[in-house]
Amino acid sequence: MSDTVRSLAEEYHVPLSKVIDALEEKTRTIVLSADMPIEDDNKLKNYRRIISLLDPNHNGGKVKVHIPIPMKELGRDYVIFTHMALRKPKTAEILRQVLLIQDKNNTKTKIVLCKEAMDQVMRAAQSDEDLRGMVNALTNLENYHMLTILSGRISEENHSISTFIKKKNLSDSILIVGFNRSLDAFIFSRNRRNESNPHYKKILQADVTNGGKLIVPDRRKPAFANAEHKPCSNLSTSPAVLKGRIPRHGDNAYYQQGGTLYPVVLESVLGEGGEAITYKIFQGTKCAKIFKETSNSPMKMRKISTMCSRRSSMESIDVSIMERIAWPEKCLYNTEGEPIGYIMKLFQGTHCLSEFAYDTFEEIIPGVNKFHQITMAVSLAELIDFLHHNNVILCDINKDNIMFDSNQSAYIIDLDSAQIADQDCYYPSNVGIPEFLSPEHVYDHNFSFLHKKADDIWILQMLLFGILTPMGNPYAGSCTDEKKAVAEGLYPYQAGEKAAETDIKKTPWHMIVSHFPRSIKEMFWESFHGDGKFFHEKDRRLAQSWLNTMVAYQEMYPNHIKGDPESAKFMPERYRRYVRSSNNDDELSLNDLLKRLSKSGSHNMNWEDID
């Protein structure tokens, strides 16, 4: 009898959900069924190695090995620097090394980067002296015409670079410096598809260490511990009794630095909620969240203090992503030195996701098309993937704390409601949005349960569906009882051979879904329908899987709209015109695609990897 993922989980005494998550993260493929026989010996051996590291009795797997990359790799045909790499001061030395190798070995290396990434580094250097050397290097390279500069917005950096790569010969050697979560999905796909081609030069990815060395990028040790199997903190959740008063508009709050308290004026009010009031500070460059008397508990303030202490760890993993997250930076205190709030980033020129609707998209994004929506989806999935990697569970993901700028880059605010853990306990969250409760908790009366990443994923996939439809509800029209629709997975839309429910047909949303590529329809169906492979908590996809899925949509978009230009509209006016052919990957069903890959021997290829 052949081994399966389920039998391996039982053999190694590891929960099935944990096994699936690890296999998907390490192999970058989706585990379609835990009961599917594993016939390939190499695949089985790899699975055993990965699962063995999850065994609590196994001492391996706890040490991350940073594999060095020889500097000679900087002599490749193209060395592409991502925004993340450009934000590291030591990358200036890597740029110098490219030129040294070019001079010594007479290589024809072209240095490639995105213009908006370079522009952002120039702006960041105005307040960060460590980046001055980076700016000087870029300025000199540009003056000597040594840069190949790609156009496009920073939110589409992954797509700008992938489009550039697609135009190059398979024999061209390419090195990507700086990890980009969205671009990584494309690179993995391109390398896998061409691995049997003797003329193909595998794209190599490198990260820059704090010491200026090149290493194979990994997802690094998470900043926080996993909350599972840890007790809840025993700190009080009741409001603290303060000796001093809570400051208000025009008053001073205080932040600590080097053991000394420094004043900061609470300027104009930005907003007020049930728990806190938010003010502009530092001449409107940042903001302060000051909790009300009823919300200022020892539990909350300990959690925020812990988050502040881990900010540098989060930034060392991906500083460019952290710039889009309003992570707590410093705790704020009253005149008595009692904690009453925190400082976070202020995102100017952004719109809350709650402002987007089918009749407002065109006002917010002039000339909006489907690609804008896909870019929004990729950017949001990228943030959740990063936070989940660091074991940060957001819990209160809602349309008011997700923002988008004019480039469709996503931002997240109000992180104090997240659930985090240290080595001893976890700090809970007791807030959320009822409409976003997962099927497991839809009938719960509060949010005091231990949150899992699967709960966040449920919200993420609902938001992704809403962004792409635009702002449609995956269960709208399926049942008058909204909770029942979620609990039973009464998803009414079509996917592959699965027809849509009668009541949803002829609606604008049914028409919009008809324009999704088949793989996207199936991913939503499998995730939202009660009979779907990914509907239940233990089977729900990782944020990384959703990021890969949205990147795949972004990559297949140019060919997809060639089949029907109407698919490029954010609100199409008719159903998609299908032109079926054996070469149309957009229309391959999941099963057909698996059969084709099986015949070609590509057992491990992700079904999301098809252009």
Angle between helices 543-563 and 370-389 (to 10 degrees): 160
State mean pLDDT over 545-549.
94
State mean pLDDT over 26-55.
79
pLDDT category at 61 given cuts 50, 70, 90 is very low
437 Cβ neighbours under 8 A, 6+ residues apart: 444, 458, 486
d(Cα 335, Cα 363) in Å, to the nearest integer? 45
Structure tokens at 218: 């990994």
State mean pLDDT over 214-235.
87
Reported as half-sphere exposure (CB side, CA atoms, 13 A), residue 536 has a value of 7
Could you tell me if 354 and 320 are in contact, meaning their C-beta atoms sit under 8 angstroms apart? no
pLDDT category at 41 given cuts 50, 70, 90 is confident
In the chain, the N- to C-terminal Cα span, in Å, equals: 36
- Based on the domain organization, do 158 and 274 belong to the same domain? no
Which of 354-358, 509-513, 607-611 has the lowest average pLDDT? 607-611
Would you say how long the chain is, in residues?
611
Residue 225 in any domain: the answer is no
State pLDDT tens for residues 312-337.
Answer: 989 988 888 999 999 999 999 999 99
Q: Which of 311, 345, 379 is the last residue of a domain?
A: 345
Per the structure, how many domains does the chain have?
4
Which of 84-93, 237-246, 423-432, 582-591 has the lowest average pLDDT? 582-591
- Based on the domain organization, do 514 and 529 belong to the same domain? yes
The Cβ of residue 283 has, within 10 Å, a number of other Cβ atoms equal to 8
Flag whether pLDDT at 608 surpasses 70. Answer: no
Residue 336 in any domain: the answer is yes
Residue 256 in any domain: the answer is yes
pLDDT category at 48 given cuts 50, 70, 90 is confident
Residue 237 in any domain: the answer is no
Residue 64: predicted pLDDT: 45
Nearest to 539 by CA among 551, 550, 553, 529: 529
Residue 63 in any domain: the answer is no
Residue 591: predicted pLDDT: 55
State mean pLDDT over 519-540.
96
Helix (H) or strand (E) holding 387: helix 370-389
Q: Which of 215, 235, 262 is the last residue of a domain?
A: 215
Give residue 256's Cα distance to chain centre: 32
Residue 552 in any domain: the answer is yes
Residue 599: predicted pLDDT: 52
Nearest to 138 by CA among 168, 103, 98: 98
- Based on the domain organization, do 393 and 533 belong to the same domain? yes
- Based on the domain organization, do 544 and 514 belong to the same domain? yes
- Based on the domain organization, do 370 and 328 belong to the same domain? no
pLDDT category at 15 given cuts 50, 70, 90 is confident
- Based on the domain organization, do 44 and 76 belong to the same domain? no
Per cent of the chain over pLDDT 90 is: 71
Tokens 């740029």: give the residue: 95
CATH of the domain at 133: 3.40.50
Residue 46: predicted pLDDT: 83
Residue 439: predicted pLDDT: 95
Flag whether pLDDT at 597 surpasses 70. Answer: no
Q: Which of 345, 376, 410 is the last residue of a domain?
A: 345
pLDDT category at 528 given cuts 50, 70, 90 is very high
Flag whether pLDDT at 13 surpasses 60. Answer: yes
- Based on the domain organization, do 577 and 600 belong to the same domain? yes
- Based on the domain organization, do 272 and 125 belong to the same domain? no
Specify which residues 420 forms β-bridges with: 427
Residue 15 in any domain: the answer is yes
State pLDDT tens for residues 250-288.
Answer: 999 999 988 899 999 999 999 998 899 999 999 999 999
State mean pLDDT over 287-294.
95
Residue 114 in any domain: the answer is yes
- Based on the domain organization, do 546 and 495 belong to the same domain? yes
Residue 609: predicted pLDDT: 33
Phi-psi region of 110 (alpha: psi -120 to 50; beta: other; left: phi over 0): beta
Q: Are strands 110-114 and 204-208 parallel, antiparallel or unpaired?
A: unpaired
Residue 42, domain extent: 5-52
pLDDT category at 586 given cuts 50, 70, 90 is low
d(Cα 361, Cα 355) in Å, to the nearest integer? 9
Residue 210: predicted pLDDT: 80
State pLDDT tens for residues 530-543.
Answer: 999 999 999 999 99
pLDDT category at 66 given cuts 50, 70, 90 is low
Residue 414: predicted pLDDT: 92
Could you tell me if 247 and 334 are in contact, meaning their C-beta atoms sit under 8 angstroms apart? yes
Which of 212-226, 236-250, 423-437 has the lowest average pLDDT? 212-226
State pLDDT tens for residues 105-127.
Answer: 999 999 999 999 999 999 999 98
State mean pLDDT over 47-67.
61
Flag whether pLDDT at 302 surpasses 80. Answer: yes
Residue 611: predicted pLDDT: 30
pLDDT category at 27 given cuts 50, 70, 90 is confident
Could you tell me if 95 and 86 are in contact, meaning their C-beta atoms sit under 8 angstroms apart? no
Flag whether pLDDT at 600 surpasses 50. Answer: no
Specify which residues 339 forms β-bridges with: 333
Which of 57-66, 126-135, 285-294 has the lowest average pLDDT? 57-66
State mean pLDDT over 207-236.
88
The Cβ of residue 175 has, within 10 Å, a number of other Cβ atoms equal to 22
Flag whether pLDDT at 7 surpasses 90. Answer: no
State pLDDT tens for residues 347-376.
Answer: 999 999 999 999 999 999 999 999 999 999
Residue 136: predicted pLDDT: 95
Flag whether pLDDT at 495 surpasses 50. Answer: yes
Residue 5: predicted pLDDT: 86
166 Cβ neighbours under 8 A, 6+ residues apart: none
Which of 233-247, 338-352, 592-606 has the lowest average pLDDT? 592-606
Could you tell me if 113 and 81 are in contact, meaning their C-beta atoms sit under 8 angstroms apart? yes
Q: What is the mean pLDDT of the chain?
A: 89
Per cent of the chain over pLDDT 70 is: 91
pLDDT category at 607 given cuts 50, 70, 90 is very low
pLDDT category at 25 given cuts 50, 70, 90 is confident
- Based on the domain organization, do 329 and 359 belong to the same domain? no
- Based on the domain organization, do 401 and 294 belong to the same domain? no
Residue 584: predicted pLDDT: 55
Nearest to 127 by CA among 184, 87, 81: 87
- Based on the domain organization, do 300 and 267 belong to the same domain? yes
User: HEC states along 341-380?
Assistant: EEEEECCCCCEEHHHCCCCCHHHHCCCCEHHHHHHHHHHH
Flag whether pLDDT at 438 surpasses 90. Answer: yes
Structure tokens at 36: 């599917």
CATH of the domain at 262: 3.30.200.20
